[in-house]
Amino acid sequence: MKISNLLTILAILAGPIQIQAAEITGNFSYEKFQRLNSPEKQTQFDDWTAISVVADGELLNSKSHIDGDFRLYVNNENKFNFSVPEAYMEWTDRESRLSVGRQVLNWNENEEYWLLSNINSNQGFYLLGEKKEGLVGVQYDKRLSTNVTASFFFSYLNVPSLNPAVEIKDGKVSSNSEWVRSPPEATVIEGQEIPLHFSLNDPDIARDILLKKSLGARLAYAWDKDRSEVSAYFLYKPEGNIRMNAEAYMAEDLSRVEVVANPIVNHHAVYGLQYRQRFGSVRMVAGFDVNDPNAKLGKDFDILDLGTLKQNNKVFESEYFSIKPAYDKESYFHTSANLNRGSYMLSVNYIHNVTDNDRGSDDFYSETVKWKRAVGGRVRYYFDDFFNVMIDMKYDIERRDNILKAEVNYSMFNRASFNVGMELIKSPEDTSYWAAYRANDAVYSSLKFLF
């Protein structure tokens, strides 16, 4: 069964179902990518049709907003992925704003560029995709004075990231995304290779997945006509991705090891400081953020205790294989400078992980940090209203990872666009996060029809 299918209807119900007097925009596209080499785990999903819709309207005296993306794979069992990044209603006046539904919390602006998913989950349609999925809950923003603004977030509903989808069928783990790390397919017992046969221990959706609390607050002080701002935030919530653990036993006929995968929702604390400054056309953002998967906040919030991980079966060790999920604190310093001159857009970025994280490349049960000490630069140049190019390069100074993405986009009659791009990944160290994807270089293209 697909783990994501258990939550499909919930993401749709997380926001407004009907919008009156709506203004609807979006596009319908046909997309294709061509591999430049052969990944170790290669799927057959390289052609798909997609539709993206954004609707704004009025509902119950509120402004309502829905952003949805849907993808159907062509000629391959009609596999289907979908995402609802935002779906919310909001009520505003001069001094306050109240929103209910699924919404991106923009409390760390640099999270998007570095593909982090500490506050908001990555959509997961593309390996290097930057689009985010918001949190489901209630957000309240209040201007306390001319310079001070306070924000609060509360939720009793958790909708984890639904992509990339993972399927367990006939004892095998598969996905329609090549950047999903798979568990081992076999183990060695007394010098003999024995296959692993996987099954899923279905969780109680309401108790184990959905009904999880979140609580957060942000305080901001702005001056110089809002050109300068300093803020601090704290957010305690379930992690965006469901973790996986497992238990194993030998089959009666000794032909295989039976492995039962157990989904786990773990709370974590995310907190940090942000400084924003505008110098003419340049907008600078600097911050220090911490992601702590071991934080604990009150008895009403369930969380895994490192001292009892083994007793709670969160660390699994047997004669067949071991599972030791990583619950390491991560602390980042990051900064960015963005320039928009109309005919071109330029962005310079830096991120530095100041905590020691020694775990290796990601796997089915946990993952390592994406960046150690990295610089990034992006430029998009508009030759005219119809033709533009983009180049984005990220380089990890410590790990020597090199992530290059380039795109060419041509618009036709304001009703269609043609896009061609490439993604190249160089990762020489096996312990790097990106080492698992060094064979995922690709050229992609898409034809979009706008409405």
Residue 77 belongs to some domain of the structure: no
Q: How far apart are the first and last CA of the chain?
A: 35
CA–CA dist 366, 241 (Å, integer) = 10
Residue 60 belongs to some domain of the structure: no
Q: Omega before 164 cis (within 30°)?
A: yes
CA 339 to chain centre: 25
Residue 175 belongs to some domain of the structure: yes
According to the model, what pLDDT value does residue 368 have? 80
pLDDT in tens, 194-247: 888 888 887 788 888 889 999 999 999 999 988 999 999 999 999 988 877 777
Q: How many CA atoms lie within 13 A of 133 on its CB side?
A: 25
According to the model, what pLDDT value does residue 386 have? 93
Range of the domain at 279: 26-46+87-450
- Domain tally, the chain: 1
Q: 13: part of which helix (H) or strand (E)?
A: helix 8-13
CA–CA dist 330, 337 (Å, integer) = 23
> Torsion angle of alpha carbons 410, 33, 350, 85, nearest 10°?
80
Residue 4 belongs to some domain of the structure: no
Lowest mean pLDDT among 30-39, 225-234, 411-420: 30-39
Three-state secondary-structure class, residue 111? helix
Residue 122 belongs to some domain of the structure: yes
Residue 66 belongs to some domain of the structure: no
Both structure tokens of 409: 């986009």
Residue 5 belongs to some domain of the structure: no
Q: Report phi then psi at 356, rounded to 5.
A: -85, 120
Residue 349 belongs to some domain of the structure: yes
Distances (CA, A) of 243 to 60, 69, 352: 38, 24, 25
pLDDT in tens, 264-305: 888 999 999 999 999 989 999 999 999 998 888 766 555 444
Give which of 122, 50, 51, 129 is closest to 85, Cα–Cα: 122
CATH of the domain at 378: 2.40.160
